[in-house]
C-alpha cells in the first residue's frame, strides 16, 4: 500500500502547470530567467528547487533533432521550419503532431519514489525515510547536507540546495496528503496526465490506458516503472512512454547503487585480511633474520 | 519501443544523474585518512610482532595517526551543507550506507588513536608523570596490545571503506569498477601509510635500517597489489565509461601521476636495486616514499574528479545502466494484454478531500 503518481506522457500538453503548482505550494524559489536554447524546456532538469520538470522532445523526420542526439536548437529549429514550409503532408496547424511520424513528446518528470531507493539507503543521518504513505521523504530538520544521496540517486533527482545546505526533492506533497489533499501537481494538471492515488490502483488504470492506446494504434505505448525486474524495483511514480526511456532522459535499466555494497565490503575485508597477514609476516620474518 | 542498433538517444546531451557535490576536502580526506589508516595498521603489526627494533615505528605510527585523526573530521564537517549538524551522523548506523559505516570507523579510530597516542606520550615522558594523577593511572591501565590490534583493524577499515563508498553510487566511473575500488583504496592506504612512516623516519633519523627495510617490504607488497588492482580496473571498465580517466586533464594525471609515478616507479626502482644487488639507502628510501605519497594523492583526486565528469556524461550512464542485471521489462504488447477494466478516474475517489470540499 503506497500512494504515488501515474504520469501519462501521451496526455501531457507541456503547459508546465505542474511545475508552477509545485513551486507555489512548496514555496520553492525561482531558478532564474535563463533560456536553455534547446527547446521550450527552460527548466532543464529536476533540482533542489524544482521538483516537477516538463521535458520537451522534438522528433522530426526532417532533421531528426530529438530522435538522434539532440545536437542543439539549430538543428531542431531548421527541422521545424523545413517541416512547416514543406507541409510534410500535414494540414496547416498540424505540422508537428503528438503521436505521428513527426511528433512532439512531453513528459512531466518527478522523483520516482523507488521501491528500493538509492538516496534512502545512502543517507547516513536517517534524514531520508519512507513515510506512512510509502513515499521517500527527506526530513529537513535532520538532513545535514553531506551530499551522499546526490550521486546515489539512479535517476539524478535529489540535489543539494547550496543556499540552505540541505538535500531536497519531491515530497509527494507529504503535508497535503496528511490533510487528505491531492498533491499540488496532480491537482493542477488540466489533462489528467498526472494521476495521484494508490499505486496498485494506478497500475491497473495504467494497464487499461496502455490497452486502449494499443487498440487505437499507438503500439509503442508502454509503462516505465511497472513490473520492473531491476534492483531499484517498481517505481511509485511511474510513467507511460511511447519511446525508449533514454529519449526521456530515463535510464533503460536503472540499478540500485547499494546492490553491490555487501560484495564490495566482503572484497575489501578479504583484501584487508590478506594485507594484514602480509604485514605481520613481514615483521615476523624480519625478526627471524635480525 | 524499438531497440535501435545505433546509440540510444540522449536528452539534448544533458546529464542523466547529478554529479557529486563534494569539494576538494573530500579527496584530501581520502588521502590523509588513508595514510592514517595504513600507518595505524603497520604500527599495530609492529607493536604486536615487531619486537624492540620497531619501537620507533610504533611511536611514529601512533603520533602520525593521532595527528591525522584530528585533521580528518574537520575536513569532513566543513564539507557538509550544515556543518553544525555533523552529529546527526551519529544517530544511526546503516550497513547499506558506507558513509555511515565510515563515520563509525573514523570515530572509533579517532578514540583509539587518542588513547594510544596519550599512552605513548606518557611512556615518552611528554606528559606529567605524577603517579597519583588519575589520567596517568588510567592510561597506564590501558591494555595496549588489544587496543593496538583494534587500532590496526579500524585503520584498515578507514583505508578501505572510502572505495566502497564510491562504488555504491550511480556515478558510472565508480560503479563500473565493481568490487575493485575498496581493495584498491585499501592498498593505496597501506602503501601511503608505510611511505609516510618511512618519510617521517628519515626526517627524524629514527629507526634501524632493518626496521626501515621491513616497512619498505610492506609498502612494496601493498604497491604491487595496488598496481594489479588499478590495471584490473582499467580492463574491467568499458571505454565509454572510462573516458574521463583516459583523456582530458585527468587522463595524463592518472596514467603518469598515479599509476606511473606513484605505483610503478618506486616498485621498478626497488626491483632494479635489488637485482643489481645494491642496498637502498635512507635518502633514496625517503624519495621513493615521497613519490608513493604523491601518487596516492594524485590517485584520489583523479578518481574523484574524473568520476564527476563521468556523472555528467549521459553516454557513460547509458553504458552502465544498459548492462545492469535483471530481466527485461514486459513488452508494450504484454503490458497492453494485461488491461482489465476499472472505473473512470475521479480525483476525489482516489484521494479523498477533506470533508465539505
Average pLDDT of every residue of chain B: 91
- pLDDT per residue as tens digits for the range A58-86: 887 654 444 444 344 444 444 444 444 44
Q: Does A121 touch chain B (CB under 8 A)?
A: yes
State the pLDDT confidence band at A102, using cuts at 50, 70 and 90: confident
CATH placement of domain A3-255: 3.30.70.20
Whole-number pLDDT of residue B123: 87
Q: Cα–chain-centroid distance for residue B77?
A: 17
pTM: 0.91
Domains (range + CATH), chain B: 25-318 (1.20.1630.10)
- The pLDDT of residue A96 is above 70: no
CA distance B311 to B317: 7
Closest in B97, B156, B351 to A272, CB measured: B156
User: From A164, which residue of chain B is nearest by alpha-carbon distance?
Assistant: B81
Residue A287 banded pLDDT, cuts 50, 70, 90:
confident
In whole angstroms, give the CA distance from residue B239 to residue B244: 9
pLDDT confidence band for A289 (50 / 70 / 90): confident
**Among residues of chain B, what percentage have pLDDT more than 70?**
92
Average pLDDT, chain A: 88
Q: What residue ranges do the domains of chain A occupy?
A: 3-255, 261-289
Across the A:B interface, residue pairs with CB atoms under 8 Å apart total: 374
A113-124, pLDDT tens digit by residue? 999 999 999 999
Buried b (16+ CB within 10 A) or exposed e, A205-236: bbbbbbbebbeeebeebbbbbbebebbbbbbb
Contact B170 A70 (CB under 8 A): no
pLDDT value of position A99 = 63
- pLDDT per position as a tens digit, B295-333: 999 999 999 999 999 999 999 999 999 877 777 888 888
Q: What is the pLDDT of residues B34-73, one digit of tens each?
A: 999 999 999 999 999 999 999 999 999 999 999 999 999 9
Please write the tens of the pLDDT for every residue from B110-140.
Answer: 999 999 999 999 889 887 766 667 777 788 8
Q: Which residues of B touch A70 (CB under 8 A)?
A: 9-13
Record: contact A150-B20, CB cut-off 8 A: yes
Q: Across-strand partners of A235?
A: A114
Q: Are strands A3-8 and A237-241 parallel, antiparallel or unpaired?
A: parallel
Distance linking the first and last C-alpha atoms of chain A:
70
Provide the shortest C-alpha distance from residue B137 to chain A (in Å): 31
Q: Which residues contact B287 (CB under 8 A, 6 or more apart)?
A: none
Amino acid at each position: 500500500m503506497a500512494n504515488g503518481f501515474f504520469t501519462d506522457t501521451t496526455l501531457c500538453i507541456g503547459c508546465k502547470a505542474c511545475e508552477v503548482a509545485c513551486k507555489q505550494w512548496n514555496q520553492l524559489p525561482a531558478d532564474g530567467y535563463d533560456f536553455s536554447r534547446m527547446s521550450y524546456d527552460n527548466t532543464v532538469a529536476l533540482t533542489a528547487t524544482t521538483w516537477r520538470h516538463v521535458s520537451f522532445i522534438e522528433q522530426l523526420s526532417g532533421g531528426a533533432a530529438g530522435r538522434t542526439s539532440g545536437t542543439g536548437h539549430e538543428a531542431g529549429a531548421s527541422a521545424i521550419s523545413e517541416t512547416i514550409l514543406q507541409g510534410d503532408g500535414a494540414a496547416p496547424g498540424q505540422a508537428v503532431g503528438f503521436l505521428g511520424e513527426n511528433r512532439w513528446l512531453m513528459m512531466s518528470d518527478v522523483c520516482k519514489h523507488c521501491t528500493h531507493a538509492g538516496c534512502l539507503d545512502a543517507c547516513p543521518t536517517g534524514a531520508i525515510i519512507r513515510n506512512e504513505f510509502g513515499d521517500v521523504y527527506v526530513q529537513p530538520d535532520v538532513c545535514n547536507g553531506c551530499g551522499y544521496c546526490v550521486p546515489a540517486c539512479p535517476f539524478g533527482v535529489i540535489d543539494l540546495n547550496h543556499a540552505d545546505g540541505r538535500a531536497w526533492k519531491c515530497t509527494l506533497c507529504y503535508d497535503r496528503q496528511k490533510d487528505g489533499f491531492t498533491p499540488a501537481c496532480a491537482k493542477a494538471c488540466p489533462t489528467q496526465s498526472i494521476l495521484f492515488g494508490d499505486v496498485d490502483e494506478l497500475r491497473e488504470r495504467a494497464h487499461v490506458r496502455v490497452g486502449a492506446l494499443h487498440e487505437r494504434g499507438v503500439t509503442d505505448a508502454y509503462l516505465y516503472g511497472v513490473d520492473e525486474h531491476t534492483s531499484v524495483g517498481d517505481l511509485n511514480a511511474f510513467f507511460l512512454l511511447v519511446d525508449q526511456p533514454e529519449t526521456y532522459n530515463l535510464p533503460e535499466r536503472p540499478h540500485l547503487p547499494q546492490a553491490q555494497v555487501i560484495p564490495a565490503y566482503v572484497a575489501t575485508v578479504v583484501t584487508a585480511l590478506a594485507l594484514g597477514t602480509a604485514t605481520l609476516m613481514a615483521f615476523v620474518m624480519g625478526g627471524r633474520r635480525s | 519501443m524499438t531497440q535501435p542498433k545505433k546509440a540510444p538517444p540522449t536528452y539534448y546531451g544533458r546529464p542523466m544523474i547529478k554529479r557529486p557535490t563534494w569539494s576538494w576536502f573530500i579527496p584530501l580526506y581520502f588521502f590523509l585518512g588513508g595514510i592514517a589508516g595504513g600507518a595505524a595498521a603497520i604500527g599495530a603489526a609492529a607493536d604486536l610482532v615487531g619486537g624492540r627494533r620497531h619501537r620507533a615505528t610504533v611511536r611514529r605510527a601512533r603520533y602520525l595517526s593521532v595527528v591525522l585523526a584530528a585533521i580528518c573530521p574537520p575536513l569532513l564537517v566543513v564539507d557538509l551543507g550544515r556543518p553544525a549538524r555533523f552529529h546527526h551522523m551519529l544517530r544511526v548506523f546503516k550497513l547499506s550506507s558506507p558513509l555511515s559505516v565510515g563515520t563509525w570507523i573514523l570515530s572509533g579510530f579517532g578514540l583509539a588513536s587518542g588513547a594510544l597516542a596519550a599512552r605513548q606520550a606518557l611512556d615518552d615522558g611528554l606528559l606529567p608523570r605524577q603517579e597519583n594523577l588519575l589520567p596517568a593511572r588510567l592510561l597506564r591501565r590501558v591494555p595496549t596490545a588489544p587496543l593496538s590490534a583494534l587500532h590496526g583493524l579500524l585503520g584498515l577499515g578507514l583505508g578501505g571503506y572510502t572505495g566502497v563508498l564510491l562504488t555504491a553510487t550511480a556515478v558510472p566511473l565508480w560503479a563500473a569498477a565493481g568490487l575493485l575500488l575498496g581493495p584498491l583504496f585499501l592498498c593505496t592506504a597501506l602503501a601511503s601509510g608505510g611511505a609516510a612512516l618511512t618519510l617521517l623516519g628519515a626526517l627524524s633519523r629514527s629507526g634501524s635500517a632493518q626496521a626501515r627495510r621491513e616497512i619498505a617490504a610492506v609498502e612494496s607488497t601493498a604497491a604491487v597489489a595496488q598496481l594489479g588492482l588499478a590495471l584490473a580496473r582499467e580492463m574491467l571498465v568499458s571505454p565509454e565509461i572510462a573516458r574521463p580517466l583516459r583523456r582530458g586533464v585527468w587522463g595524463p594525471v592518472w596514467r603518469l601521476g598515479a599509476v606511473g609515478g606513484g605505483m610503478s616507479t618506486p616498485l621498478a626502482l626497488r626491483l632494479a636495486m635489488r637485482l643489481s644487488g645494491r642496498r637502498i639507502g635512507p635518502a633514496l628510501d625517503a624519495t621513493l616514499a615521497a613519490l608513493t605519497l604523491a601518487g596516492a594523492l594524485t590517485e584520489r583526486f583523479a578518481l574523484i574528479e574524473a568520476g564527476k565528469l563521468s556523472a555528467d556524461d549521459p553516454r557513460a550512464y547509458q553504458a552502465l545502466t544498459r548492462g545492469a542485471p535483471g530481466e527485461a521489462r514486459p513488452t508494450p504488447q504484454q503490458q497492453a494484454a494485461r488491461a482489465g477494466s476499472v472505473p473512470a478516474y475521479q480525483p476525489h475517489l482516489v484521494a479523498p478531500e477533506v470533508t465539505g470540499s
